[in-house]
Amino acid sequence: MYELIQSNKRRSVLLVVGFVVVVGLVGAAFGLAFGGGIPVTIVALVIGGVVAFGSYWKSDAIALAVSRARPADPQEYARLHNLVEGLCIASGLPKPGVYIVDDPAPNAFATGRNPKHASIAVTTGLLEKLNRVELEGVVAHELSHIRNYDILISTLAVTMVGAVALISDIAIRAMWWNGGRVRRSGDRGNHNNPLALVGFALLILAPIIAKVMQAAISRQRETLADVSACQMTRYPPGLISALEKLQEDTTVTHSASTATAHLWIEQPMSGVGDRGRLGGTHRLFNTHPPLEERIALLREL
């Protein structure tokens, strides 16, 4: 398990570095395609950096708001609070904020930037369909994300994807509007410049590349959190049983979105398990490894 932890940490660092490179390339492509050179590139990078920095500090509040999560009342959800407190004491973690999402699909997620500024949220469907041992396994999985600083990596991934998408969108719109004005003036400007064409191609492909990298980070972290959760509870059958129930349940998590999909314990969006002609392509964007693979790994512990 410790070898897996170290391997996933190294890969995550490389992927985050890759995100930084992609953001830099998008900024350079902005300058090439828009014809503004270095000044436009610097402006694009500054915009991306400001958005990423702001999202980093407010990522947990944004994720909770987007998911329509509400604070879990300690009296109404005493069992959930007791599980969280017990596992936090056993693992030496500060108790995170505990939230409830009114959704019939069984699911859960953790968010925040570090263990002192973290929250976990579970759906009402999860509380209804899992027994105490299974729920403990899921809560331990989410606390493992917090203990392993997976929430920080996930936050960086979200902000990097957002920065890439924002810069690309601004650049393409600016090129379109500028292109219209240039054509009216009779000046073909920078449109026949091969470097500008390369920049335009990078702007189109960058968001796709960023989403694939985001999915890769999430898939690695889910496997690590499963193993860490079993170490925390000392009872792998609890999490195995929970994942089996999640596998049997086909309810779509309506509170999830493409922006927060990688945070949940199970792939929350519809279309999972596509076996059609484009199934392989779709799996590139899956934020989670297949549940059957996760269950098989846990059975080997």
pLDDT reported for residue 276: 45
Strands 117-123 and 97-101 turn out to be parallel
pLDDT tens per residue across span 9-41: 666 667 666 666 776 677 666 666 666 566 766
Q: What is the pLDDT of residue 76?
A: 96
Segments of the chain scoring below 50 in pLDDT: 180-191, 271-282, 284-285
pLDDT for res 264: 87
Task: Determine contact, residues 143/151, Cβ cutoff 8 Å.
Answer: no
Q: Please tell me the predicted confidence (pLDDT) of residue 182.
A: 43
How high is the pLDDT of residue 287?
A: 64
Residue 142 among the catalytic residues? yes
**pLDDT at residue number 194:** 54
Predicted local distance difference test score (pLDDT) of residue 286 = 64
**What pLDDT score does 241 carry?**
97
Please, what sign has the CA dihedral across residues 13, 58, 141, 262? Answer: negative
Quick one: tokens of 226? 């499963």
Q: What is the pLDDT of residue 288?
A: 74
CA 87 to chain centre: 24
Those residues whose C-beta lies under 8 Å from the C-beta of residue 128, and which sit 6 or more positions away, are 104, 106
pLDDT of residue 193: 52
Q: Which of 76, 85, 134, 142 is catalytic?
A: 142
Q: What is the spatial distance between Cα 137 and Cα 13, in angstroms, rounded to a whole number? A: 27
Q: pLDDT value at position 254?
A: 83
**Looking at residue 181, what is its pLDDT?**
45
Instruction: Supply the pLDDT for residue 263.
Output: 81
DSSP state of 250: -
What integer pLDDT is reported at residue 201 of this predicted model? 66
